[in-house]
């Protein structure tokens, strides 16, 4: 992330925080970061579950789908 992009993100976070807006909900400055962390955690969980030994037994992935998560921070879509 460039310094300019980081500065813009920091300004958006501070602005939303000071106005009392939800940082993680729809339109929240940190929502994309939360989405990314959740998707990476799910990917790591699947990789651990379907290791090479499981794949030789015929266990495999069937692709990815979209899901809508509802949390106390609001709803958002993950892949």
| Domain span including residue 41 | 1-78
Q: What's the pLDDT at 18?
A: 93
pLDDT in tens, the chain (79 residues): 788 888 888 999 999 999 998 888 778 888 888 889 999 998 888 888 787 777 777 777 777 788 888 877 777 788 8
**Terminus-to-terminus CA distance in the chain, angstroms?**
22
- pTM exceeds cut of 0.75: no
Chain center to CA of 17: 20
Tell me what pLDDT residue 13 has.
Answer: 92
User: 4 to each of 7, 8, 30, 32, 57, how far by Cα in Å?
Assistant: 5, 6, 17, 18, 49
How many domains are there within the chain?
1
Q: What is the DSSP letter of 71?
A: E
Q: DSSP 3-state assignment of 76?
A: strand
């Amino acid at each position: 992330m460039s310094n300019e992009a980081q500065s813009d993100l920091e300004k958006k976070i501070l602005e939303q925080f000071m106005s009392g807006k939800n940082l993680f909900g729809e339109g929240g400055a940190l929502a994309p970061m939360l989405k990314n962390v959740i998707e990476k955690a799910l990917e790591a969980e699947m990789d651990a579950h379907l290791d090479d030994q499981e794949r030789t037994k015929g266990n495999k992935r069937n692709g990815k789908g979209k899901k809508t998560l509802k949390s106390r921070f609001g709803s958002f879509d993950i892949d």
